[in-house]
Amino acid sequence: MKQNFALKLFKVFIFINILFVNIQVFAKETVNETNSQIQEEFEEWKQDFRKTAIQKGIDSGFLDTVLPQISYLPRVIESDKKQSEFLLTFWTYTDRVISDKRIRDGKNMMKKYKSLLQKTSKKYGVQPEYLVAFWGLETNYGTYKGEINTLNALATLAFDKRRRAFFTNELITLLKIMQAGEQTAFKGSWAGAFGNFQFMPTTYSAYAVDADKDGKKDIINSLPDAFESAANYLSKMGWNDSQSWGSEVVITQKLDWNKIHAKGKMPVSEWEKLGVLRADGKAWNAKTKPIMARLVLPTGVEGPAFLAYRNFDLIMRWNNSTLYALSVGILADKIKYHHAPIYAKPQQSVISRNDLKEIQNYLKDKGFYKYETDGILGKGTRKAIRDYQKSIGWDEDGYPSQKLLNHLRKEGAK
Ligand code: CA
Q: 337-370: per-residue pLDDT in tens? A: 988 999 998 876 778 999 999 999 999 999 999 9
Average pLDDT in the 303-326 region?
Answer: 96
Compute the distance from residue 218 Cα to the ligand 1 centre, in Å.
Answer: 5
**CA-to-CA distance for 226 and 131, rounded, in angstroms?**
10
pLDDT band at residue 26 under the 50/70/90 scheme: very low
| Beta strands 276-278 and 246-251, pairing class | antiparallel
- DSSP 3-state of 292: strand
Give yes or no for residue 23 having a pLDDT over 50: no
pLDDT band at residue 395 under the 50/70/90 scheme: very high
Alpha helices in 82-186 (DSSP H): 90-97, 100-112, 114-124, 128-139, 150-159, 164-180
pLDDT band at residue 25 under the 50/70/90 scheme: very low
Alpha helices in 140-183 (DSSP H): 150-159, 164-180
Closest CA to 15 of 248, 142, 193: 193
pLDDT of residue 398: 93
pLDDT of residue 62: 96
Per-residue CA distances from 221 to 3, 204, 216, 224, 305 (Å): 27, 14, 10, 9, 38
Compute the distance from residue 189 Cα to the ligand 1 centre, in Å.
Answer: 21
Give yes or no for residue 414 having a pLDDT over 80: no
Pick from 20-29, 249-258, 309-318, 372-381: least confident: 20-29
Handedness of CA 81, 86, 87, 89 (dihedral sign): negative
pLDDT band at residue 49 under the 50/70/90 scheme: very high
Edge to edge, the sheet with strand 266-267 lists 266-267, 292-296, 305-308, 246-251, 276-278
Give yes or no for residue 22 having a pLDDT over 50: no
pLDDT of residue 30: 46
Give yes or no for residue 83 having a pLDDT over 70: no
Compute the distance from residue 114 Cα to the ligand 1 centre, in Å.
Answer: 19
**CA-to-CA distance for 292 and 269, rounded, in angstroms?**
9
pLDDT band at residue 158 under the 50/70/90 scheme: very high
With a pLDDT cut of 90, the percent of the chain lying above it is 79
Per-residue CA distances from 334 to 88, 193, 238 (Å): 22, 27, 23
Compute the distance from residue 305 Cα to the ligand 1 centre, in Å.
Answer: 41
Compute the distance from residue 181 Cα to the ligand 1 centre, in Å.
Answer: 12
What residues contact residue 2 under an 8 Å CB cut-off, 6+ apart? Answer: none
Please list the residues that pair with 296 across neighbouring strands. 306
Residue 386 host element (H or E): helix 379-391
Please list the residues that pair with 86 across neighbouring strands. 352
Compute the distance from residue 56 Cα to the ligand 1 centre, in Å.
Answer: 27
Compute the distance from residue 211 Cα to the ligand 1 centre, in Å.
Answer: 6
pLDDT band at residue 260 under the 50/70/90 scheme: very high
Q: Taking the mean position of all CA atoms in its chain, how far away is CA 235?
A: 18
**CA-to-CA distance for 325 and 312, rounded, in angstroms?**
6
Question: What does CATH list as the number for 353-413?
Answer: 1.10.101
Please list the residues that pair with 321 across neighbouring strands. none
**CA-to-CA distance for 71 and 228, rounded, in angstroms?**
32
pLDDT of residue 413: 72
Whether 191 and 171 have beta carbons less than 8 Å apart is answered as no
How many other β-carbons are positioned within 10 Å of the β-carbon of residue 176? 18
Closest CA to 291 of 344, 242, 358: 242
Q: What are the phi and psi torsion angles at 160 (to 5°)?
A: -65, 145
Compute the distance from residue 226 Cα to the ligand 1 centre, in Å.
Answer: 9
pLDDT of residue 176: 96
| Beta strands 148-149 and 187-188, pairing class | antiparallel
**CA-to-CA distance for 183 and 134, rounded, in angstroms?**
23
| Structural domain boundaries in the chain | 353-413
Pick from 16-25, 120-129, 308-317, 326-335: least confident: 16-25
CA neighbours closer than 13 Å in the CB half-sphere of residue 315: 28
